[in-house]
Amino acid sequence: MNIIVIIIILIVLYWQVKSIFHNKAKLAKTIIVLLLLIFISTPSYALSEFTCIFTMFNPSATNIAFGLESGTANIWDRNPLGVWSNPAKLGYYNGFAYGNTHDSWLEGFIKGIYHDSSYLTFGWNGVGILLPFVNNSGRFGTTLDYGEQEAYDAEGNPFIKFNSYETNSKYAVGINCIELTSRILKNIPQLRNMKQYAELSFGYSLDYIVSGLCPLIPELMDAEGKGKSCAHNFGSLIKINLSKICYEIFKFDNLLEEQQNEFSFNDILNFEVVGGINFINISKAKILYENSEHKQPLPYGNNTAIAGKLSLINLYNLLPKDFRFLCFFNNMFSIYASYDNAKYGDNPSTWSEGIEFIFLDIFSLRRGKYYDYNGHIVGDSKGWGINLNYKDVVSFQYNYVEFPGGELQAIQKKADISFSIDILQLIKILK
């Protein structure tokens, strides 16, 4: 369905229903909401063959700064909202964490539509789980809330109010195989040594999707237009510590041992590279609406990425042990860079690239580019973040980003917050 057909439908609908509306503002809002539902829930949006494409909207303000579908290999971002990109990342989460976002969606186009997400993570010894939590829309997980609409009878009298929304409650588990195995088999030193050079993680997530798109035509109000379905996703990650491998090859650490220093070159310069892939809706599940005889396809495809982080001068490890408790951060300066590619169904690929500069593990500047020529969403993104933390054991994050929104709104804005605490590690440090 192309845009010309959509416009014709809207014009016809306008002339059919305008006589039953007393308030032109309500009529305008209803027409706009209908336009959004057409774009979001049918194959007309970005030439997609899917419904429920709200599940493709990245909830993480951190990762959106590197492109709309980035984050597949970003293991250094421990905000629970980042698990959307790849459940295998849970293998790197420790302790308890909470993430939340509440954003106006297309606020320059229409008011009262929100994209909300709220999640909890629990991680320990290489195993992590993700659970949905109550978001600002009063539902669990991620919700795109279209607000309240009102239907009128033939006499022009309001007779029913309804709220259109779509929710994805994501449940996930991730395992860092090397970390977990080395913890279980403590008597095998080779496993601990392997962890210094490379790690392998896997993850699985279940999406429980509810699409409550109430029809705007009064005659169809008895069929509420709700649909429910489940999608299964599988992700994996491999991390390689290139700096550690190089140090071993060139025997730099041997020189330090001869000088009887307690620190390693890895504390001065550390460079890690991660490759990741996330398979989305591997069973190609569909959704059936109550007022439809045919199931509609949910998004399926994959995200692949490569990312790297260069960290300079780990001040915590370089300080004498008696003074380490005074250090509230690890690295003096870090650089993160990523490249992500997304492929959904038969649609052409989209890709993202971005970079982040991190100062004292506290303040971050982020820049990125996103390319989706098929969906007419191409442009730059920029963001920043504040991470008030104590050696990644206790932290509070605020992240903000501006990114390309496509034809309906050129620039979108998003912000999120998160809180995390690793109680066991905190007790260990304070001892």
User: Which has the closest alpha carbon to 202: 185, 177, 178?
Assistant: 177
CB-based contact 116:107 (threshold 8 Å): no
Better-scored residue on pLDDT, 427 or 137: 137
Whole-number Å distance between alpha carbons of 271 and 241: 6
Of residues 260 and 376, more confidence is placed in 376
What is the spatial distance between Cα 410 and Cα 59, in angstroms, rounded to a whole number? 18
% the chain with pLDDT above 90: 42
Query: Residue 53, SS3?
Result: helix
Least confident of 69-78, 132-141, 255-264, 289-298: 255-264
Q: What pTM value is reported for the model?
A: 0.81
Please give the pLDDT value at position 332: 82
Integer CA distances (angstroms), 6 to 3, 13, 33, 47, 157, in order:
5, 10, 13, 13, 27
Which tokens belong to 393?
């054991």
**Mean pLDDT comparison of 48-52, 124-128, 202-206, 261-265, highest-scoring range:** 202-206
Which pLDDT score, from 0 to 100, does residue 295 have? 85
CA distance 3 to 9: 10
Task: State the average pLDDT over residues 395-402.
Answer: 94
Segments in 1-60 forming alpha helices (H) = 3-17, 24-41
pLDDT confidence bin for 5, thresholds 50/70/90: very low
Amino acid 174: pLDDT: 97
The per-residue pLDDT for 222 is 45
The mean-pLDDT minimum among 139-143, 291-295, 348-352 falls in 291-295
Mean pLDDT of 274-298: 88
Name which of 73-77, 251-255, 294-298 the model is least confident about: 251-255
Give per-residue pLDDT as tens, 25-73.
555 555 555 555 545 544 334 445 788 888 989 999 999 999 888 999 9
* pLDDT at site 223: 46
Of 220 and 370, which is predicted with more confidence?
370
Over residues 249-263, the mean pLDDT reads: 53
Region 105-111: mean pLDDT is: 71
**Quick one: tokens of 395?**
């932290």
131 versus 347: the higher-pLDDT residue is: 131
Average of per-residue pLDDT across 2-22: 43
Q: What average pLDDT does this structure show over 230-244?
A: 93
What single DSSP character describes residue 177?
A: H
pLDDT at 207: 96
pLDDT at residue 106 tops 90: no
Task: State the residue range of the domain holding 271.
Answer: 3-430
What CATH number is attached to the domain comprising 169?
A: 2.40.160.40
In this predicted structure, the answer to whether residue 382 has a pLDDT above a threshold of 90 is yes
- Predicted confidence at residue 246, as pLDDT, reads 78
Task: Render pLDDT for 320-372 as a digit per residue (tens, 0 to 9).
Answer: 565 555 566 677 899 999 999 999 988 888 999 999 999 988 899 999 999 88
Which of 21-25, 81-85, 164-168, 316-320 has the highest mean predicted lDDT (pLDDT)?
81-85
Q: How far is CA 285 from the centre of its chain?
A: 21
Query: Is a pLDDT exceeding 90 seen at residue 225?
Result: no
When mean pLDDT is compared over 11-25, 123-137, 156-170, 385-399, the highest value belongs to 123-137
Q: Which is higher by pLDDT, 8 or 266?
A: 266
Q: Which of 165-174, 210-219, 267-276, 295-304 has the lowest mean pLDDT?
A: 210-219
- Average of per-residue pLDDT across 238-267: 66
Between residues 304 and 23, the one the model is more confident about: 304
pLDDT, mean of residues 261-274:
74
Which of 104, 115, 122 shows the shortest CA–CA distance to 55? 115
What's the domain count of the chain?
Answer: 1
pLDDT at residue 127 is higher than 70: yes
Query: 401 vs 318, which has greater pLDDT?
Result: 401
Give the chain's mean pLDDT: 80
Q: Is the pLDDT of residue 423 over 70?
A: yes
The one-letter amino acid code at 125 reads: N
- Lowest mean pLDDT segment, chosen from 62-71, 308-317, 396-405, 416-425: 308-317
| Cross-strand partners of 305 | 276, 340
> Residue 373's pLDDT is what?
79
